[in-house]
Amino acid sequence: MADNRNVMERHGCIVDGKMYDMLVVYTPSGQFLDCKVTSGGGHCLKGHGRPLVACDQHSAQQIEAALAAHFPGAETPEDRDERDA
């Protein structure tokens, strides 16, 4: 029986790039499930279909603006649009 996989990863804050250690949980099929910041001062941003982290001190507006800048036009968690040229 396959279990969820816990993987230690390092990700930068979406706003200012500060690095955080995170425990990321993937399903047996490799789909992102959950994440948790193991070093202090930051927290995970859930609901984006990928591990994202932000410092605790950033406001919701800062985080939203950073998300919009990183993923322009990606409002939905699963933005896998494969377009034919």
Q: Are 64 and 47 in contact (CB under 8 A)?
A: no
Assign 62 to helix, strand or coil.
Answer: helix
- β-pair type (5-12, 42-44): unpaired
Residue number, 20 or 24, with CB nearest to Zn ion: 20
15 binds Zn ion (CB under 5 A): yes
Q: Residue 20 burial by CB count (10 A; 0-12/13-18/19+): exposed, middle or buried?
A: buried
64 binds Zn ion (CB under 5 A): no
55 binds Zn ion (CB under 5 A): yes
56 binds Zn ion (CB under 5 A): no
13 binds Zn ion (CB under 5 A): yes
Q: How far is the CB of 58 from Zn ion (least distance, A)?
A: 5
Residues that bind Zn ion (CB under 5 A): 13, 15-16, 18, 55
